[in-house]
């Protein structure tokens, strides 16, 4: 999906209806900052807001996902394109998550033998330190790569305002987490809560 194009379309349709960002946000019961974010192409409405937004702007969901008015002749074609794009985005996110898990696993497999060898075999102290050092470098590098892949796969959804966002790397690494959630500060409402990992932005 082209979020910049969709954002411009939302802005154009809002203006066509004569709404300010504040007025539209009040109708949808969200903050005007969220509308501004959508219109700048920095986010996309969550699923529960798609129909209310489209109803207020008098457009279809298909037109919203396309970022333009769609004629009846092109409607089916655009709907198919939008579905394919959504599925593709979800699949790419899944691949990144799987790759992240594989990198983490391979890192452990590569580093553990170095620690075991350095502790079990007779060797000079400098060799032992060298092997342990290599083990830590492998672990640090593997964790960094796994974190980058996982952070870029999809986004996190705030439980308060339901906006989706990708945290910066520092917030991502420092946030306590479970398998599917990470404690983050929402950049839109400021809530510091466990945000759910989602596959689409």
What SS3 state is found at 164? Answer: strand
27-30 long-range Cβ contacts below 8 angstroms, 24+ apart: 27/52, 27/56, 28/52, 28/53, 28/56, 30/161
pLDDT-based confidence at 9, cuts 50/70/90? Answer: very high
28, 56 Cβ separation under 8 angstroms: yes
Residue 47 CA to residue 162 CA, distance in Å, equals 10
6, 44 Cβ separation under 8 angstroms: yes
Position 61 scores a pLDDT of: 87
Q: Bigger pLDDT: 86 or 115?
A: 115
Residue 194 CA to residue 128 CA, distance in Å, equals 41
pLDDT for 201 beyond 70: no
Position 26 scores a pLDDT of: 93
pLDDT for 2 beyond 70: yes
Position 1 scores a pLDDT of: 66
**CA-based nearest residue to 171, from 153, 151, 196, 145:** 151
Question: Chain-wide mean pLDDT for the chain?
Answer: 86
Which pLDDT tens digit goes with each residue over 12-22? 999 999 999 99
Which pLDDT tens digit goes with each residue over 66-102? 888 887 777 777 777 777 777 777 777 778 778 888 8
pLDDT for 127 beyond 70: yes
Interior angle at CA 86, CA 3 and CA 144, nearest 5: 80
């Amino acid at each position: 999906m082209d979020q910049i194009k969709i954002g411009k379309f939302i802005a154009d349709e809002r203006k066509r209806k004569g709404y300010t960002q504040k007025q539209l946000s009040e109708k949808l019961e969200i903050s005007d900052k969220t509308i501004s974010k959508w219109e700048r192409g920095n986010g996309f409405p969550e699923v529960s807001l798609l129909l209310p937004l489209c109803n207020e702007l008098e457009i279809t969901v298909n037109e919203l996902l396309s970022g333009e008015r769609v004629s009846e002749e092109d409607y089916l074609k655009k709907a198919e394109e939008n579905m394919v794009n959504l599925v593709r985005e979800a699949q790419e996110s899944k691949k990144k998550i799987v790759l992240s898990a594989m990198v983490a696993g391979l890192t452990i497999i590569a580093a553990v033998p170095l620690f075991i060898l350095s502790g079990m075999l007779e060797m000079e102290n400098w060799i032992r330190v060298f092997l342990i050092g290599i083990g830590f470098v492998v672990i640090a590098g593997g964790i960094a790569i796994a974190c980058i892949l996982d952070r870029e796969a999809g986004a996190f959804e705030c439980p308060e305002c339901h906006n989706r966002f990708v945290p910066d790397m520092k917030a991502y690494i420092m946030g306590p987490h479970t398998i599917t959630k990470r404690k983050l500060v929402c950049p839109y409402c400021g809530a510091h809560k466990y945000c759910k990992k989602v596959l689409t932005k």
